[in-house]
Structure 1
Protein backbone atom coordinates (compact mmCIF):
# COMPACT_ATOMS: atom_id res chain seq x y z
CA UNK A 1 0.00 0.00 0.00
CA UNK A 2 1.21 3.48 -0.79
CA UNK A 3 2.06 5.54 2.24
CA UNK A 4 0.50 8.88 2.55
CA UNK A 5 2.83 11.54 3.98
CA UNK A 6 1.71 12.80 7.34
CA UNK A 7 0.23 16.20 7.10
CA UNK A 8 1.42 18.74 9.61
CA UNK A 9 -1.18 19.37 12.25
CA UNK A 10 -2.85 22.71 11.70
CA UNK A 11 -1.82 25.37 14.20
CA UNK A 12 1.28 23.51 15.41
CA UNK A 13 4.09 25.90 16.33
CA UNK A 14 7.81 25.51 15.85
CA UNK A 15 9.65 24.48 19.04
CA UNK A 16 11.74 27.63 18.69
CA UNK A 17 8.75 29.98 18.59
CA UNK A 18 8.47 30.34 22.37
CA UNK A 19 12.19 31.07 22.74
CA UNK A 20 12.02 33.64 19.93
CA UNK A 21 9.03 35.38 21.53
CA UNK A 22 10.76 35.51 24.92
CA UNK A 23 13.91 36.92 23.31
CA UNK A 24 11.96 39.61 21.47
CA UNK A 25 10.13 40.52 24.67
CA UNK A 26 13.39 40.83 26.62
CA UNK A 27 14.94 42.99 23.91
CA UNK A 28 11.93 45.31 23.82
CA UNK A 29 11.77 45.56 27.61
CA UNK A 30 15.49 46.25 27.88
CA UNK A 31 15.36 48.88 25.14
CA UNK A 32 12.44 50.70 26.74
CA UNK A 33 14.12 50.62 30.16
CA UNK A 34 17.44 51.90 28.79
CA UNK A 35 15.70 54.71 26.93
CA UNK A 36 13.67 55.74 29.97
CA UNK A 37 16.76 55.68 32.21
CA UNK A 38 18.72 57.85 29.80
CA UNK A 39 15.85 60.32 29.55
CA UNK A 40 15.54 60.56 33.33
CA UNK A 41 19.28 61.06 33.72
CA UNK A 42 19.30 63.81 31.12
CA UNK A 43 16.38 65.52 32.82
CA UNK A 44 17.95 65.40 36.28
CA UNK A 45 21.26 66.77 34.97
CA UNK A 46 19.64 69.71 33.18
CA UNK A 47 17.22 70.89 35.87
CA UNK A 48 19.88 72.28 38.23
CA UNK A 49 20.53 76.01 37.82
CA UNK A 50 24.04 77.12 36.88
CA UNK A 51 23.58 80.81 37.59
CA UNK A 52 22.23 82.62 40.63
CA UNK A 53 18.64 83.36 39.74
CA UNK A 54 16.75 82.85 42.97
CA UNK A 55 14.49 85.31 44.78
CA UNK A 56 16.05 86.23 48.11
CA UNK A 57 12.75 87.49 49.58
CA UNK A 58 11.00 84.19 48.92
CA UNK A 59 14.10 82.37 50.11
CA UNK A 60 14.03 84.23 53.42
CA UNK A 61 10.48 83.01 54.10
CA UNK A 62 11.38 79.45 53.21
CA UNK A 63 14.52 79.62 55.33
CA UNK A 64 12.67 80.96 58.37
CA UNK A 65 10.02 78.25 58.08
CA UNK A 66 12.32 75.29 57.45
CA UNK A 67 15.92 76.06 58.43
CA UNK A 68 16.09 78.79 61.09
CA UNK A 69 15.27 76.43 63.96
CA UNK A 70 18.71 74.83 63.61
CA UNK A 71 20.74 77.49 61.80
CA UNK A 72 19.33 80.66 63.37
CA UNK A 73 17.35 83.50 61.85
CA UNK A 74 20.55 85.30 60.84
CA UNK A 75 22.49 82.19 59.81
CA UNK A 76 24.49 82.43 63.03
CA UNK A 77 23.92 78.79 63.97
CA UNK A 78 22.55 77.22 67.17
CA UNK A 79 23.28 74.23 69.37
CA UNK A 80 21.46 72.07 66.83
CA UNK A 81 23.12 73.33 63.65
CA UNK A 82 26.26 75.12 62.44
CA UNK A 83 26.55 78.67 61.23
CA UNK A 84 25.90 79.22 57.53
CA UNK A 85 27.89 82.43 57.31
CA UNK A 86 30.07 82.21 54.21
CA UNK A 87 28.85 78.80 52.97
CA UNK A 88 27.21 80.38 49.93
CA UNK A 89 24.35 79.32 47.70
CA UNK A 90 26.39 76.51 46.19
CA UNK A 91 26.50 74.69 49.55
CA UNK A 92 22.77 75.27 49.95
CA UNK A 93 22.11 73.70 46.57
CA UNK A 94 24.25 70.66 47.38
CA UNK A 95 22.69 70.00 50.77
CA UNK A 96 19.05 70.69 49.87
CA UNK A 97 18.94 69.29 46.32
CA UNK A 98 20.28 65.93 47.55
CA UNK A 99 17.76 65.75 50.40
CA UNK A 100 20.44 65.93 53.09
CA UNK A 101 18.75 69.04 54.44
CA UNK A 102 16.49 69.60 56.25
CA UNK A 103 18.11 67.05 58.55
CA UNK A 104 15.82 64.21 59.60
CA UNK A 105 17.76 63.14 62.70
CA UNK A 106 21.13 63.78 64.28
CA UNK A 107 23.74 61.21 63.30
CA UNK A 108 27.35 60.74 62.17
CA UNK A 109 26.44 62.46 58.90
CA UNK A 110 23.41 63.55 56.93
CA UNK A 111 22.20 60.82 54.55
CA UNK A 112 20.62 61.42 51.17
CA UNK A 113 16.84 61.19 51.13
CA UNK A 114 13.91 62.42 48.97
CA UNK A 115 14.15 66.12 48.15
CA UNK A 116 11.56 68.31 49.89
CA UNK A 117 11.82 71.44 47.74
CA UNK A 118 11.56 72.32 44.07
CA UNK A 119 14.56 73.62 42.14
CA UNK A 120 13.06 77.12 42.22
CA UNK A 121 12.65 77.00 46.01
CA UNK A 122 16.20 75.71 46.44
CA UNK A 123 17.49 78.58 44.30
CA UNK A 124 15.47 81.04 46.42
CA UNK A 125 16.90 79.72 49.70
CA UNK A 126 20.39 79.85 48.22
CA UNK A 127 19.88 83.43 47.04
CA UNK A 128 18.83 84.45 50.58
CA UNK A 129 21.88 82.81 52.14
CA UNK A 130 24.11 84.39 49.51
CA UNK A 131 22.61 87.83 50.17
CA UNK A 132 23.20 87.65 53.93
CA UNK A 133 26.71 86.18 53.95
CA UNK A 134 28.21 85.53 50.48
CA UNK A 135 30.13 82.37 49.70
CA UNK A 136 30.81 80.01 46.78
CA UNK A 137 28.37 80.45 43.90
CA UNK A 138 27.44 78.51 40.78
CA UNK A 139 30.26 77.80 38.31
CA UNK A 140 30.56 78.70 34.68
CA UNK A 141 28.71 76.25 32.44
CA UNK A 142 31.99 75.18 30.86
CA UNK A 143 33.26 73.68 34.14
CA UNK A 144 30.38 71.20 34.32
CA UNK A 145 29.81 70.52 30.62
CA UNK A 146 31.46 67.08 30.75
CA UNK A 147 33.71 67.88 27.79
CA UNK A 148 37.02 67.87 29.64
CA UNK A 149 39.91 65.39 29.45
CA UNK A 150 38.41 62.15 30.77
CA UNK A 151 41.72 60.28 31.10
CA UNK A 152 43.41 63.12 32.98
CA UNK A 153 40.33 63.54 35.17
CA UNK A 154 40.37 59.84 36.07
CA UNK A 155 44.02 60.15 37.12
CA UNK A 156 43.29 63.22 39.24
CA UNK A 157 40.33 61.40 40.83
CA UNK A 158 42.52 58.41 41.73
CA UNK A 159 45.10 60.70 43.33
CA UNK A 160 42.77 63.00 45.25
CA UNK A 161 39.45 61.22 45.78
CA UNK A 162 39.67 57.44 45.35
CA UNK A 163 41.00 56.77 48.86
CA UNK A 164 37.52 57.62 50.17
CA UNK A 165 35.16 57.30 47.22
CA UNK A 166 36.72 54.14 45.69
CA UNK A 167 38.48 54.13 42.32
CA UNK A 168 35.15 53.35 40.62
CA UNK A 169 33.36 56.15 42.56
CA UNK A 170 31.31 53.53 44.42
CA UNK A 171 31.89 55.08 47.86
CA UNK A 172 33.40 53.54 50.97
CA UNK A 173 33.33 53.36 54.75
CA UNK A 174 35.07 55.91 56.96
CA UNK A 175 35.47 56.03 60.74
CA UNK A 176 32.80 56.32 63.46
CA UNK A 177 29.87 55.42 61.22
CA UNK A 178 30.73 57.95 58.53
CA UNK A 179 31.05 57.08 54.88
CA UNK A 180 31.95 58.51 51.50
CA UNK A 181 28.85 58.24 49.27
CA UNK A 182 28.92 56.78 45.78
CA UNK A 183 28.89 59.28 42.93
CA UNK A 184 27.09 57.13 40.37
CA UNK A 185 24.02 59.38 40.23
CA UNK A 186 25.44 62.72 41.42
CA UNK A 187 24.92 65.62 39.02
CA UNK A 188 27.87 67.55 37.59
CA UNK A 189 26.86 70.64 39.55
CA UNK A 190 26.79 68.78 42.86
CA UNK A 191 30.15 67.11 42.14
CA UNK A 192 31.60 70.59 41.68
CA UNK A 193 29.79 71.86 44.77
CA UNK A 194 31.22 69.05 46.89
CA UNK A 195 34.77 69.86 45.78
CA UNK A 196 34.36 73.58 46.42
CA UNK A 197 32.35 73.56 49.67
CA UNK A 198 33.65 70.39 51.36
CA UNK A 199 30.40 69.03 52.82
CA UNK A 200 30.59 66.99 56.04
CA UNK A 201 33.79 64.90 56.01
CA UNK A 202 35.02 65.99 52.60
CA UNK A 203 37.95 68.46 52.38
CA UNK A 204 37.67 71.68 50.42
CA UNK A 205 39.56 71.68 47.12
CA UNK A 206 40.26 75.32 46.33
CA UNK A 207 41.95 76.52 43.17
CA UNK A 208 45.35 76.02 44.75
CA UNK A 209 44.63 72.30 45.25
CA UNK A 210 42.69 71.70 42.05
CA UNK A 211 42.43 74.33 39.33
CA UNK A 212 39.10 74.94 37.60
CA UNK A 213 40.43 72.91 34.66
CA UNK A 214 41.33 70.05 37.03
CA UNK A 215 37.79 70.10 38.43
CA UNK A 216 36.35 70.09 34.92
CA UNK A 217 38.40 67.03 33.99
CA UNK A 218 37.40 65.16 37.17
CA UNK A 219 33.73 65.93 36.57
CA UNK A 220 34.07 64.76 32.96
CA UNK A 221 35.60 61.46 34.04
CA UNK A 222 32.85 60.84 36.61
CA UNK A 223 30.13 61.65 34.08
CA UNK A 224 31.80 59.21 31.68
CA UNK A 225 31.64 56.51 34.37
CA UNK A 226 27.95 57.24 34.93
CA UNK A 227 27.15 56.93 31.24
CA UNK A 228 29.20 53.81 30.44
CA UNK A 229 28.63 50.35 31.84
CA UNK A 230 31.47 48.37 33.37
CA UNK A 231 33.46 46.79 30.47
CA UNK A 232 34.18 43.76 32.62
CA UNK A 233 30.52 42.79 33.04
CA UNK A 234 28.67 42.74 36.34
CA UNK A 235 30.49 45.12 38.71
CA UNK A 236 29.48 43.47 42.01
CA UNK A 237 29.03 46.91 43.52
CA UNK A 238 32.46 48.05 42.30
CA UNK A 239 33.82 47.42 45.78
CA UNK A 240 37.09 45.90 44.60
CA UNK A 241 38.92 42.57 44.88
CA UNK A 242 37.44 41.59 48.25
CA UNK A 243 33.86 41.43 47.00
CA UNK A 244 34.97 39.82 43.73
CA UNK A 245 37.02 37.17 45.54
CA UNK A 246 34.15 36.44 47.91
CA UNK A 247 31.77 36.02 44.98
CA UNK A 248 34.15 33.62 43.21
CA UNK A 249 34.73 31.65 46.42
CA UNK A 250 31.06 31.26 47.30
CA UNK A 251 29.48 30.83 43.88
CA UNK A 252 32.36 29.70 41.66
CA UNK A 253 34.13 27.21 43.91
CA UNK A 254 30.86 26.34 45.64
CA UNK A 255 29.34 25.37 42.30
CA UNK A 256 32.37 23.23 41.43
CA UNK A 257 32.13 21.42 44.78
CA UNK A 258 28.40 20.83 44.31
CA UNK A 259 28.94 19.41 40.79
CA UNK A 260 31.77 17.18 42.06
CA UNK A 261 29.60 15.81 44.86
CA UNK A 262 26.76 15.20 42.41
CA UNK A 263 29.00 13.33 39.94
CA UNK A 264 30.43 11.19 42.78
CA UNK A 265 26.99 10.35 44.07
CA UNK A 266 25.81 9.35 40.60
CA UNK A 267 28.83 7.12 40.00
CA UNK A 268 28.27 5.32 43.28
Structure 2
Protein backbone atom coordinates (compact mmCIF):
# COMPACT_ATOMS: atom_id res chain seq x y z
CA UNK A 1 0.00 0.00 0.00
CA UNK A 2 2.89 2.31 0.76
CA UNK A 3 4.26 1.90 -2.81
CA UNK A 4 0.80 2.48 -4.39
CA UNK A 5 0.30 5.56 -2.23
CA UNK A 6 3.68 6.86 -3.31
CA UNK A 7 2.77 6.41 -6.97
CA UNK A 8 -0.51 8.23 -6.47
CA UNK A 9 1.32 11.19 -4.93
CA UNK A 10 3.91 11.32 -7.71
CA UNK A 11 3.78 14.64 -9.70
CA UNK A 12 3.28 12.77 -13.00
CA UNK A 13 0.45 10.56 -11.73
CA UNK A 14 -2.32 13.00 -12.66
CA UNK A 15 -1.01 13.23 -16.22
CA UNK A 16 -0.84 9.46 -16.55
CA UNK A 17 -4.46 9.14 -15.40
CA UNK A 18 -5.56 11.86 -17.85
CA UNK A 19 -3.80 10.17 -20.78
CA UNK A 20 -5.30 6.82 -19.85
CA UNK A 21 -8.82 8.30 -19.68
CA UNK A 22 -8.42 10.03 -23.06
CA UNK A 23 -7.23 6.78 -24.62
CA UNK A 24 -10.30 4.94 -23.30
CA UNK A 25 -12.64 7.61 -24.67
CA UNK A 26 -10.91 7.51 -28.05
CA UNK A 27 -11.14 3.73 -28.33
CA UNK A 28 -14.81 3.77 -27.35
CA UNK A 29 -15.62 6.46 -29.92
CA UNK A 30 -13.76 4.58 -32.67
CA UNK A 31 -15.62 1.36 -31.88
CA UNK A 32 -19.04 3.04 -32.06
CA UNK A 33 -18.16 5.02 -35.21
CA UNK A 34 -16.94 1.96 -37.08
CA UNK A 35 -20.00 -0.02 -36.04
CA UNK A 36 -22.39 2.50 -37.58
CA UNK A 37 -20.30 3.44 -40.61
CA UNK A 38 -21.42 0.72 -43.08
CA UNK A 39 -25.08 1.32 -42.35
CA UNK A 40 -24.73 5.10 -42.69
CA UNK A 41 -22.85 4.73 -45.98
CA UNK A 42 -25.39 2.27 -47.27
CA UNK A 43 -28.27 4.62 -46.45
CA UNK A 44 -26.47 7.40 -48.32
CA UNK A 45 -26.01 5.22 -51.41
CA UNK A 46 -29.37 3.47 -51.43
CA UNK A 47 -31.06 0.90 -49.19
CA UNK A 48 -29.45 -0.98 -46.34
CA UNK A 49 -30.55 -4.26 -47.95
CA UNK A 50 -28.56 -3.31 -51.03
CA UNK A 51 -25.28 -3.88 -49.19
CA UNK A 52 -25.83 -7.61 -48.72
CA UNK A 53 -27.08 -8.05 -52.27
CA UNK A 54 -24.25 -5.91 -53.59
CA UNK A 55 -21.64 -7.95 -51.75
CA UNK A 56 -23.02 -11.16 -53.24
CA UNK A 57 -22.91 -9.67 -56.74
CA UNK A 58 -19.44 -8.26 -56.14
CA UNK A 59 -18.03 -11.62 -55.06
CA UNK A 60 -19.58 -13.28 -58.09
CA UNK A 61 -18.67 -10.77 -60.79
CA UNK A 62 -15.94 -8.43 -59.52
CA UNK A 63 -13.78 -10.19 -56.93
CA UNK A 64 -11.67 -12.05 -59.50
CA UNK A 65 -10.00 -8.74 -60.39
CA UNK A 66 -10.57 -6.45 -57.39
CA UNK A 67 -10.15 -9.06 -54.64
CA UNK A 68 -12.66 -10.71 -52.33
CA UNK A 69 -12.73 -7.64 -50.07
CA UNK A 70 -12.24 -5.04 -52.84
CA UNK A 71 -8.68 -4.57 -51.62
CA UNK A 72 -7.32 -4.63 -55.17
CA UNK A 73 -4.93 -6.96 -56.97
CA UNK A 74 -2.08 -6.68 -59.44
CA UNK A 75 -4.61 -6.44 -62.27
CA UNK A 76 -7.13 -4.02 -60.73
CA UNK A 77 -7.06 -1.20 -58.14
CA UNK A 78 -8.61 -1.19 -54.69
CA UNK A 79 -12.20 0.04 -54.47
CA UNK A 80 -12.08 1.01 -50.81
CA UNK A 81 -12.95 4.70 -50.59
CA UNK A 82 -13.81 5.23 -54.27
CA UNK A 83 -17.50 5.68 -53.46
CA UNK A 84 -20.80 4.77 -55.10
CA UNK A 85 -20.36 7.41 -57.81
CA UNK A 86 -17.29 5.65 -59.22
CA UNK A 87 -19.12 2.32 -59.39
CA UNK A 88 -22.17 3.87 -61.03
CA UNK A 89 -20.01 5.65 -63.62
CA UNK A 90 -17.94 2.60 -64.54
CA UNK A 91 -20.88 0.19 -64.73
CA UNK A 92 -23.42 2.52 -66.37
CA UNK A 93 -20.95 3.28 -69.18
CA UNK A 94 -20.11 -0.39 -69.70
CA UNK A 95 -16.46 0.12 -68.78
CA UNK A 96 -16.87 -2.39 -65.96
CA UNK A 97 -16.79 -5.29 -65.85
CA UNK A 98 -13.80 -5.11 -68.21
CA UNK A 99 -13.17 -7.86 -70.71
CA UNK A 100 -9.40 -7.72 -70.16
CA UNK A 101 -6.84 -5.37 -68.56
CA UNK A 102 -5.78 -2.59 -70.92
CA UNK A 103 -4.32 0.91 -70.89
CA UNK A 104 -7.87 2.25 -70.69
CA UNK A 105 -11.31 0.70 -70.43
CA UNK A 106 -13.47 1.88 -73.37
CA UNK A 107 -17.12 2.78 -73.22
CA UNK A 108 -19.21 -0.16 -74.44
CA UNK A 109 -22.68 -1.72 -74.05
CA UNK A 110 -23.41 -2.99 -70.55
CA UNK A 111 -22.88 -6.66 -69.73
CA UNK A 112 -26.07 -8.77 -70.02
CA UNK A 113 -26.37 -9.23 -66.25
CA UNK A 114 -25.96 -5.52 -65.45
CA UNK A 115 -29.01 -3.34 -64.85
CA UNK A 116 -29.87 -0.28 -62.78
CA UNK A 117 -30.79 -2.30 -59.68
CA UNK A 118 -27.62 -4.40 -59.65
CA UNK A 119 -25.49 -1.33 -60.28
CA UNK A 120 -27.10 0.41 -57.29
CA UNK A 121 -26.55 -2.63 -55.08
CA UNK A 122 -22.87 -3.01 -55.92
CA UNK A 123 -22.44 0.75 -55.49
CA UNK A 124 -24.02 0.56 -52.04
CA UNK A 125 -21.67 -2.26 -51.04
CA UNK A 126 -18.57 -0.37 -52.22
CA UNK A 127 -19.83 2.77 -50.48
CA UNK A 128 -20.12 0.82 -47.23
CA UNK A 129 -16.45 -0.19 -47.37
CA UNK A 130 -14.99 3.27 -46.90
CA UNK A 131 -17.26 6.06 -48.05
CA UNK A 132 -16.39 8.27 -51.00
CA UNK A 133 -18.32 10.39 -53.54
CA UNK A 134 -21.99 9.47 -53.81
CA UNK A 135 -24.23 9.32 -56.87
CA UNK A 136 -25.49 12.88 -57.49
CA UNK A 137 -29.15 13.77 -57.19
CA UNK A 138 -31.28 15.01 -60.07
CA UNK A 139 -31.02 18.65 -58.98
CA UNK A 140 -27.23 18.48 -59.01
CA UNK A 141 -27.10 17.46 -62.68
CA UNK A 142 -30.09 19.42 -64.05
CA UNK A 143 -28.63 21.36 -66.97
CA UNK A 144 -31.64 23.72 -66.97
CA UNK A 145 -30.47 25.10 -63.61
CA UNK A 146 -26.94 25.74 -64.85
CA UNK A 147 -25.36 28.70 -66.67
CA UNK A 148 -24.05 27.40 -70.01
CA UNK A 149 -21.99 30.56 -70.58
CA UNK A 150 -20.17 30.22 -67.26
CA UNK A 151 -19.89 26.48 -67.84
CA UNK A 152 -18.19 27.11 -71.17
CA UNK A 153 -15.58 29.32 -69.50
CA UNK A 154 -14.89 26.63 -66.89
CA UNK A 155 -14.76 23.88 -69.50
CA UNK A 156 -12.29 25.80 -71.65
CA UNK A 157 -10.12 26.52 -68.61
CA UNK A 158 -10.06 22.96 -67.26
CA UNK A 159 -11.06 20.42 -69.90
CA UNK A 160 -10.30 21.36 -73.52
CA UNK A 161 -6.65 20.33 -73.23
CA UNK A 162 -7.86 16.72 -73.29
CA UNK A 163 -11.51 16.68 -74.35
CA UNK A 164 -11.44 19.36 -77.08
CA UNK A 165 -13.59 22.51 -76.95
CA UNK A 166 -16.79 20.57 -77.80
CA UNK A 167 -15.99 17.41 -75.83
CA UNK A 168 -14.98 15.41 -78.92
CA UNK A 169 -12.10 13.81 -77.03
CA UNK A 170 -8.48 13.30 -77.98
CA UNK A 171 -5.41 11.11 -77.65
CA UNK A 172 -3.22 11.04 -74.54
CA UNK A 173 0.03 9.23 -73.78
CA UNK A 174 0.72 5.51 -73.25
CA UNK A 175 -2.35 4.33 -75.14
CA UNK A 176 -4.80 6.40 -73.10
CA UNK A 177 -7.29 8.92 -74.45
CA UNK A 178 -9.89 11.45 -73.37
CA UNK A 179 -13.25 9.97 -74.46
CA UNK A 180 -15.91 11.67 -76.52
CA UNK A 181 -18.53 13.22 -74.24
CA UNK A 182 -21.43 13.13 -76.68
CA UNK A 183 -22.81 9.89 -75.24
CA UNK A 184 -22.26 10.79 -71.59
CA UNK A 185 -25.34 11.56 -69.50
CA UNK A 186 -25.37 14.54 -67.10
CA UNK A 187 -25.03 12.11 -64.17
CA UNK A 188 -22.03 10.40 -65.76
CA UNK A 189 -20.36 13.76 -66.46
CA UNK A 190 -20.79 14.80 -62.81
CA UNK A 191 -19.54 11.42 -61.56
CA UNK A 192 -16.46 11.64 -63.78
CA UNK A 193 -15.59 15.05 -62.34
CA UNK A 194 -15.82 13.92 -58.70
CA UNK A 195 -14.16 10.51 -59.12
CA UNK A 196 -11.49 11.11 -61.78
CA UNK A 197 -11.73 7.86 -63.75
CA UNK A 198 -8.56 6.52 -65.36
CA UNK A 199 -6.38 9.41 -66.66
CA UNK A 200 -8.81 12.16 -65.60
CA UNK A 201 -7.99 14.29 -62.52
CA UNK A 202 -10.46 14.68 -59.67
CA UNK A 203 -12.36 17.98 -59.53
CA UNK A 204 -13.66 18.06 -55.98
CA UNK A 205 -16.09 20.64 -54.63
CA UNK A 206 -13.22 22.85 -53.51
CA UNK A 207 -11.75 23.03 -57.01
CA UNK A 208 -15.07 23.26 -58.87
CA UNK A 209 -18.22 23.83 -56.83
CA UNK A 210 -21.40 21.78 -57.40
CA UNK A 211 -23.04 24.83 -58.99
CA UNK A 212 -20.11 25.22 -61.38
CA UNK A 213 -20.24 21.52 -62.24
CA UNK A 214 -23.90 21.93 -63.13
CA UNK A 215 -23.03 24.87 -65.39
CA UNK A 216 -20.36 22.79 -67.11
CA UNK A 217 -22.93 20.06 -67.70
CA UNK A 218 -25.24 22.69 -69.22
CA UNK A 219 -22.47 23.75 -71.63
CA UNK A 220 -21.46 20.19 -72.59
CA UNK A 221 -25.02 19.13 -73.34
CA UNK A 222 -25.84 22.38 -75.17
CA UNK A 223 -22.80 22.39 -77.47
CA UNK A 224 -23.81 19.01 -78.90
CA UNK A 225 -26.65 20.62 -80.82
CA UNK A 226 -24.66 23.57 -82.16
CA UNK A 227 -24.39 23.87 -85.93
CA UNK A 228 -21.12 24.27 -87.81
CA UNK A 229 -21.75 27.21 -90.19
CA UNK A 230 -18.13 27.30 -91.37
CA UNK A 231 -18.39 24.12 -93.44
CA UNK A 232 -17.88 20.44 -92.75
CA UNK A 233 -17.60 19.50 -89.08
CA UNK A 234 -14.75 17.02 -89.72
CA UNK A 235 -15.53 15.26 -86.46
CA UNK A 236 -15.21 18.58 -84.60
CA UNK A 237 -11.76 17.45 -83.49
CA UNK A 238 -10.19 20.78 -84.39
CA UNK A 239 -6.97 21.87 -86.14
CA UNK A 240 -5.59 18.33 -86.47
CA UNK A 241 -8.17 17.12 -88.99
CA UNK A 242 -8.56 20.57 -90.50
CA UNK A 243 -4.82 20.78 -91.11
CA UNK A 244 -4.71 17.24 -92.50
CA UNK A 245 -7.55 17.92 -94.95
CA UNK A 246 -5.98 21.22 -96.00
CA UNK A 247 -2.64 19.48 -96.56
CA UNK A 248 -4.09 16.63 -98.59
CA UNK A 249 -6.37 18.86 -100.67
CA UNK A 250 -3.64 21.44 -101.20
CA UNK A 251 -1.08 18.80 -102.12
CA UNK A 252 -3.51 17.20 -104.56
CA UNK A 253 -4.20 20.54 -106.23
CA UNK A 254 -0.47 21.21 -106.57
CA UNK A 255 0.18 17.77 -108.09
CA UNK A 256 -2.68 18.17 -110.57
CA UNK A 257 -1.48 21.68 -111.48
CA UNK A 258 2.08 20.40 -112.01
CA UNK A 259 0.85 17.59 -114.28
CA UNK A 260 -1.33 20.01 -116.27
CA UNK A 261 1.49 22.55 -116.73
CA UNK A 262 3.92 19.82 -117.80
CA UNK A 263 1.39 18.42 -120.27
CA UNK A 264 0.88 21.91 -121.79
CA UNK A 265 4.60 22.41 -122.27
CA UNK A 266 4.95 19.06 -124.01
CA UNK A 267 2.13 19.93 -126.42
CA UNK A 268 3.79 23.24 -127.36
CA UNK A 269 7.18 21.64 -127.91
The 8 Å contact of residues 190 and 213 in structure 2, kept in 1 or not, is answered as: yes
Which stretches in structure 1 are left out of the alignment for 5+ residues?
A: 1-50
Query: How far does the alpha carbon of each residue in 1:58-93 deviate from its partner, in whole angstroms, 9 at most, with x for none?
Result: 222211111011112222112222111111110001
Length, aligned pairs only: 218
| Residue 34 of structure 1: aligned partner | none
| Residue 118 of structure 1: aligned partner | 115
Return 107-116 or 92-101, whichever deviates more: 107-116
| Residue 225 of structure 1: aligned partner | 223
Query: How far does the alpha carbon of each residue in 1:194-223 deviate from its partner, in whole angstroms, 9 at most, with x for none?
Result: 110011111111111101111111111001
| Residue 10 of structure 1: aligned partner | none
Distance 2:225 2:159 in 1: 20
Judged with a 3 Å threshold, the aligned counterparts in structure 2 of structure 1 residues 217 and 87 are, in CA distance, closer, same or farther, namely same
Pair 1:240-2:199 in alignment: no
Query: Of 42, 51, 65, which residue of structure 1 is paired with 2:60?
Result: 65
Distance 1:60 1:223 in 2: 35
Query: Following superposition of structure 1 onto structure 2, how do residues 70-109 of structure 1 map, counting pairs within 5 Å?
Result: 70-109=65-104
Which stretches in structure 2 are left out of the alignment for 5+ residues?
A: 1-43
| Residue 125 of structure 2: aligned partner | 128
Pair 1:206-2:201 in alignment: no
Who wins on radius of gyration, i.e. which is larger? Answer: 2
Distance 1:120 1:233 in 2: 45
Structure 2 counterpart SS, 1:227: coil
Distance 1:241 1:211 in 2: 31
The 8 Å contact of residues 171 and 182 in structure 1, kept in 2 or not, is answered as: yes
- TM-score, normalised relative to structure 2: 0.73
Give the C-alpha shift of residue 264 in structure 1: 9.2
Give the C-alpha shift of residue 157 in structure 1: 0.5
The 8 Å contact of residues 185 and 226 in structure 1, kept in 2 or not, is answered as: no
Give the C-alpha shift of residue 252 in structure 1: 5.9
Query: How far does the alpha carbon of each residue in 1:35-79 deviate from its partner, in whole angstroms, 9 at most, with x for none?
Result: xxxxxxxxxxxxxxxx84462222222111110111122221122
| Residue 141 of structure 1: aligned partner | 138
| Residue 185 of structure 2: aligned partner | 187
Query: How far does the alpha carbon of each residue in 1:79-134 deviate from its partner, in whole angstroms, 9 at most, with x for none?
Result: 22211111111000111111111121222121222211112211111111112322
Query: Of 153, 157, 179, which residue of structure 2 is paired with 1:155?
Result: 153
- TM-score, normalised relative to structure 1: 0.73
Query: How far does the alpha carbon of each residue in 1:157-206 deviate from its partner, in whole angstroms, 9 at most, with x for none?
Result: 01011111111211111111111111111111111011100111111111
